[in-house]
Structure formats: C-alpha cells, structure tokens
Amino acid sequence: MSFFSEEKASELREIFFESAQELLQALNEEGLELEKRPGDTEVVRGVRRTVHTLKGDSAACGYRELSELAHELEDVLTPELAQRSNGSLAEVVLAAADTFEAMLTAYRGSKQPPTGDELRVQIHRLTRPEAKQVAQPFEPKFQWSEYERLAITDAAGRGQAVYHVALGIDPGCALRAAAVQLARNVLEEMGAVLAMHPEANTDNVSLIEAALASERGKDWIARRCHIPTVVSRILVDAVMPAPAGSEPHAEESHPAAGGAASLSGAGENLLRVDAERIDAVLNLVGELIIGKSMLHQSMTEFDRRFPKDALRGKFADALAFQARVLNDLQKSVMKIRMVPVEQLFRRFPRVVRDVARAAGKDVELVIAGEDTDLDKSILDLLAEPLAHLVRNAVDHGIESPEERRAAGKPAQGTVRLNAFHQGNQVIIEMSDDGRGIDRAKVVAKAVERGVITAEEAAKLTEAEGLNLIFQSGLSTAEQVTNISGRGVGMDVVKSVLDRLKATISIETRPGQGTRFFLKVPLTLAIIKALLFRAADKLYAVPLGSVVEITRAVEAEIHRVDGHEVLQLRDQVLTLVRLQKLSRQESKGADKKLFIVVIAFAERKFGLVVDRLVGEEELVIKAMDDHLVATDLVSGASILGDGTVVLILNVAAVVERLARSQPEGVQA
C-alpha cells in the first residue's frame, strides 16, 4: 500500500470490500454447483478464476494473510484433483468462502484476521488424503546465536533485507530425510542463507528455519518456498527490512498490479455510489416536492385574486413543466435505489444446504421472481427475517426423509422463494411442502405461557391463532436445536416487518406445507397518502391501505365486547376513533360521520374522521421519540403551506386495537 497515498489506499480498500462480497457470493454458488457436479471442469475453472481474482485484489490492498491463503487454495483447484476427490473439493471451497468472509470482517474492523489453519488442514487432507496427522501449531521458535545476529546485521548494512523463513514439513512427506537439502537449494536460489536449522538432513525433521538475505520481497519468497508434497506451511517475516527508498523487484509487484486492474477495470459501465449520497439526493428531491406544493398553493391564491391576469397561463405552463420534470427526476432517483431481489435470494441456497445437512434432511430450494425490484434499504432489512423463515422451514417445517416416505411424499423436501409486484407493494412468498403448522398446538402453547387466556383463545380467528407464533419466546418445536426452536426468530421477523411498515400472513395445511406472504412497500421515502382531520389534528394514511370511504350516522354504530362496530354490507367493521370526540360536538343519532376503511394483513377496520382533506404525495420525515410519545405515529410530513401532517402507523393501530377495549385510540 506504500505505492498509494492514504486517501487512494482507503478508496481502493472500499472498492475491494464491495467486490470481495460479490466474489464470496460467487464462490458460495460455485461451491454448491461443484457439489452437484464434482468432476465438471468448467465449474472448477470458474472457482479457480474467482479465487485468483480474490487473491490478486487482496494483495493489491495489502491483505497478505488472505492473499496467501487464497494462493494455497488456488494451487489445488485442478480438474484432476476434483475428479478424484469424491466431492470433498466442494466442501473445501465452501469452507474457504466462510474463512475468507471471516477474514474480510476482521479487516473491515481493523482487527487481526483468523489464521485459516483449519482451511489449510482441509487443503492438506485434499492433496494427501492418506496422511493421518496434521502439522502442529506453527510457531517458529529458534533463537539466533550471537554470530548469526552479527551476520544478519552485516547483510542489512549492505542494503539487503533479511528474512526469517520457517518451513513446516508435510506430515505425509516421503522425502523427510532429504527435506533440509531441498529447502536449502530453494533458499539459495533467492539469496544468501545466513543461518539454517537444522543444518543437516534428519529423519524426524518437522520444522526448518533459516535467516535469508535477499533483495526479493517476502511474498515472492513465500511463493518460491512452496515445495509440493514436502513443505505444507510457510512463514516469512522480515528480521531487518530493506533500507528506505529501495524498491522490490518487478516480480513481487505483479499480484498487486493485477489486483488493481481487476478492481478498477471490471464493469466499465458500472459506477459504484455510496448509498448515503443517493439518500441525500432523494432527500433534496423530497424538499423540491414540498416546494412544488407551495408553488401550487401560491398559484391557486393568485388565480383567486387575479382571475383575468394574462400571466396566469404562463405561470400554469411553467408549473406544469416543473411538475413533469420533477416527477421524472423522482422516478429516476427511486430507480437508482431499486435493486433486484436476486441480491437477497442468492444467499439462501447456501443457507438451505447447510441447515439441511445439519438436520439430516434432503431439501431443494426453488427460486422465482428474482428480477422483481425493491428499495435497497428495504432489501437489506429483509435479509434477517427471511433467513429466520427459511431456516425454520428447513429445520422444523420439512420432515425427515423417513417421515416423508411414510406420508407418501418424495424424500426430498422443497422450499420455494418467490417475489412479485402487487400495486405499490412487493409480495415475497416463502413456502415449503412440509408438515405444516398445528394451529391448535400454537394456541395451547400460548395459553400455557400466559400470552393469552383460555377465554381469549376461544374467540380467535384462524389467522389470529396462527399469528401467535410471532409472540416472543413462543415455539412449538419438539426440541431446541442450534438452528431454531427457542421462539426468538419469529419475534425478530415481526419486529423488523413492523419497522418496515410491512405485513406478514400465513397459510398452512397440516401435512401439506406452509406459506408465508410478506407484503412490503416499494420504498420508505415517498408515499401517496389520504389526508383527513380528526379532533383538530391532521393525519395521513398510505393510500394503498385505504379500501373505501363510507358515511354513517351515530345511530348505526353499536358496541360489542367494548369495541365500537358498524355493519357494513355483509361484514361487521370494528371502528377506531383516534381521539374521543370533544364534548362540544353533537353526538346526536343523526350526526353524519366519515369512515375510512383500512385493510391491514387479513384485517379491516374503520377510522372515524371529522373531515376528509384529500390525496397528497408526502415525503416521509422520521420523528424523534421526544417529539412523539406514541407508537401510533410512524413519521410526519410537511405540506406546501407549512402544515405538519402525522402519518399513522397502521400496524400499531391494529395491534393496539387487538389488545385493548377502548372507546377511542389516543394519538
């Protein structure tokens, strides 16, 4: 990294981390493909290309440990080895993906990366499966004598770098007696051997250490010290670094140069932009939308004051042009934030494979709708809840092969992921063909844990009973595993979806399987909303949640189980008053009311409002907790005239409605 300024080096590292994540995902996918087609030459070559790119990129950024480990893996990625490894090469590739990810995490946090010893052992076993033992922990321990230290100092004074080279001998080495001489021959090709221990060949040598004076770089030395079937571990540390100003030979700069090219040259038509910059632009677009609303109101007032003024037409044309361009700008910025759900789905084949193996099951993952676009911020937040659902489906939903055969099912279970647009929402469907959810068992467990009473349980609908699985600590699993069964994951699913203003519904058939439907908004930044007034406050609800608007009189409202209800055609609609009507207002039986019918998940309810204001495109602004003391408000927006409108959290209103029996909901 000394070839770059600190600013350039930091920028290169950021590009590296982004591209490395894509390479790791590709490595996972190639490992899974190699598992299906163990001897396929093209798959092995694809893995090798991915590892080679990761090696070069990490070397360019100065991440020596990762580069060296990738180099060791690259050496064994040959079609010949793949054909005779009986599928074990795929295991090594997947283990490498995990190890590389742990190293990248450490590098990001400026921490010491893991050694990768376990992966090295797996690589060693792959190349020499007959070896029963592995090398002991690798710690060079020889102390140089006074004479040797003088030789090292003298070499450094002549402008040479001096390296402590430690070579671990392969436990299965058949040439152990000749290992010392072989190592000496290799070292003498690279410089002057100032000291070496042991000095002569021996039958029980396990570690060779040397002091080497060389003009070469240590990465180049480490690569040349690799003696197949003889040396399995290599460590090169500088004892005396080269004097300042001396440059390494061209050979050692090749990996870095190649890595830099791969970082900057790939995808010339792609431009990586920090998400915060896009958010800043989107926020400015939101401010422009508010400004457009202000101009529109000013124009309305101008029309009223000067109805015959000749400038009216010019103003109207200018405003229409501005509105059209602003609308196109908003859509363009929103499209920048949109990414295909493939970026989310592609991580789950590995999850399904690992969980199925741990549980002793055979499970296939089928993916559809990968091209469906979704806001990047929402996509990132969906990763955790969807991972919980997928793991639960494999661990608890899918039966063992024996159970499935006994039930007349194929031994291999299936988990499906699908995504598609529905209005201004995206539906993500996760389903399995397993044993299904036992609703009676869920309800009984909830009563046992004190989540609900037996009387409340008797009144639950089918959907309400199933939704109890989202309660914290509630699980119907027969046993707790390392994967699931503690009743924690589903609670996380619900809390994340509530934060996203998303909903989840369940369909299940005992013995046939379960479907989860996640309904998420396309974006959290700008919404179309219905504005209304209730108790002298201005509120808004997302227009997509509004089913219809109706009128009623007080005489048509009845009270059942502590809730106000209204007979709307063939259904009974529960009503919510955002605040009790003021005493000054008439409560006569003939008083007309507006009822806004809201749909949320499988439920409908009616908001009793004083006056409808109209539809408006709102830019959502987050609200600090000290400004709004209720969870019923998810955010706020500012209208063109400066009026603040509160945006209702529909999910919180439904939850409050379900657990309380008020005359009105206070907001």
380 and 504 together in one domain: yes
Work out the average pLDDT over 438-451: 86
The single residue listed with the structure tokens 């970026």 is 343
Work out the average pLDDT over 20-47: 87
User: Does residue 279 lie within any of the structural domains?
Assistant: yes
User: Does residue 403 lie within any of the structural domains?
Assistant: yes
Among 219, 235, 261, the domain boundary falls at: 261
Provide the pLDDT for residue 260: 38
Residue 111 predicted with pLDDT over 90: no
Q: Which residues form the domain of 440?
A: 341-521
Model confidence over 374-423: pLDDT tens digits? 888 888 888 888 999 999 999 989 999 999 999 999 999 999 999 988 76
User: Does residue 457 lie within any of the structural domains?
Assistant: yes
User: Does residue 91 lie within any of the structural domains?
Assistant: yes
Number of domains in the chain: 5
Q: Are 142 and 193 in contact (CB under 8 A)?
A: no
| Range with the largest mean pLDDT of 15-19, 31-35, 37-41, 263-267 | 31-35
171 and 307 together in one domain: no
Which amino acid is residue 246, in one-letter code?
Answer: S
> Which residues are within 8 A (CB) of 201 and not within 5 positions of it... i.e. 6 or more apart?
177, 178, 179, 180, 181
Strands 644-648 and 537-542: parallel
What token pair was written down for 288?
């422009």
H/E segment holding residue 164 = strand 161-169
* C-alpha distances out from residue 453 to 359, 444, 459, 486, 660, Å: 35, 10, 10, 22, 14
472 and 571 together in one domain: no
> Which residues are within 8 A (CB) of 222 and not within 5 positions of it... i.e. 6 or more apart?
68, 234, 235, 236
H/E segment holding residue 64 = helix 64-76
Model confidence over 24-33: pLDDT tens digits? 999 999 989 8
User: Does residue 667 lie within any of the structural domains?
Assistant: no
Provide the pLDDT for residue 521: 80
Among 234, 261, 288, the domain boundary falls at: 261
The whole-angstrom separation of Cα 377 and Cα 229 is 50
User: Does residue 1 lie within any of the structural domains?
Assistant: no
394: DSSP letter: I
Q: Cα 146 to chain center, whole Å?
A: 56
| Range with the largest mean pLDDT of 104-108, 554-558, 591-595 | 104-108
Q: In the predicted model, what is the mean pLDDT of the chain? A: 78
185 and 312 together in one domain: no
User: Does residue 68 lie within any of the structural domains?
Assistant: yes
User: Does residue 28 lie within any of the structural domains?
Assistant: yes
CA atoms in the 13 A half-sphere facing the CB of 92: 30
Q: Which of 471-475, 606-610, 646-650 has the lowest mean pLDDT?
A: 471-475
Residue 39 predicted with pLDDT over 70: yes
26 and 51 together in one domain: yes
> To 10 degrees, the CA torsion angle through 107, 108, 114, 119?
-90
* C-alpha distances out from residue 37 to 18, 31, 40, 42, 405, Å: 29, 10, 6, 10, 26
Q: Are 188 and 165 in contact (CB under 8 A)?
A: no
Provide the pLDDT for residue 343: 87
Verdict on whether the full-model pTM lies above 0.85: no
Provide the pLDDT for residue 628: 52
Q: What value does the CA radius of gyration of the chain take, rounded to a whole number of Å?
A: 33
The whole-angstrom separation of Cα 312 and Cα 290 is 21
Q: Cα 71 to chain center, whole Å?
A: 28
Provide the pLDDT for residue 584: 39
Work out the average pLDDT over 122-150: 59
Q: Are 164 and 209 in contact (CB under 8 A)?
A: yes
364 and 443 together in one domain: yes
Give the CATH number for residue 59.
1.20.120.160
Q: Which residue has the higher pLDDT, 288 or 86?
A: 288
367 and 516 together in one domain: yes
> Which residues are within 8 A (CB) of 133 and not within 5 positions of it... i.e. 6 or more apart?
171
Residue 661 predicted with pLDDT over 70: no
Beta bridge mates, 531: 540, 614
Model confidence over 477-498: pLDDT tens digits? 555 454 554 445 687 888 888 7
Q: Are 122 and 89 in contact (CB under 8 A)?
A: no
Provide the pLDDT for residue 410: 93
The whole-angstrom separation of Cα 611 and Cα 632 is 20
Q: Tell me whether the omega of the peptide bond preceding residue 198 falls within 30 degrees of 0, making it cis.
A: yes
Provide the pLDDT for residue 258: 39
In order, the DSSP letters of 122-160 are HHHHHH-TT----PPP----PPPPHHHHHHHHHHHHTT-
The whole-angstrom separation of Cα 422 and Cα 177 is 72
Nearest to 375, CA basis, from 415, 343, 348: 343
Give the CATH number for residue 150.
3.30.70.1110
Nearest to 139, CA basis, from 174, 164, 106, 107: 164
Provide the pLDDT for residue 363: 92
For 465, list phi and psi in degrees, rounded to 5. -65, -45
The single residue listed with the structure tokens 């401010």 is 287
Residue 366 predicted with pLDDT over 90: yes
Handedness of CA 409, 413, 419, 422 (dihedral sign): positive
Which amino acid is residue 433, in one-letter code?
Answer: D
Segments in 128-274 forming alpha helices (H): 146-157, 179-188, 218-224, 250-265
Among 482, 502, 521, the domain boundary falls at: 521
357 and 491 together in one domain: yes
| Range with the largest mean pLDDT of 73-77, 344-348, 651-655 | 344-348
pLDDT band at 282 (very low <50, low <70, confident <90, very high): confident
179 and 307 together in one domain: no
530 and 634 together in one domain: yes
Give the CATH number for residue 586.
2.40.50.180
537 and 567 together in one domain: yes
Model confidence over 315-347: pLDDT tens digits? 888 888 888 888 888 778 777 878 888 889 988
Residue 299 predicted with pLDDT over 50: yes
Residue 503 predicted with pLDDT over 90: no
484 and 506 together in one domain: yes
The whole-angstrom separation of Cα 112 and Cα 110 is 7
> What percent of the chain has a predicted confidence (pLDDT) above 90?
9
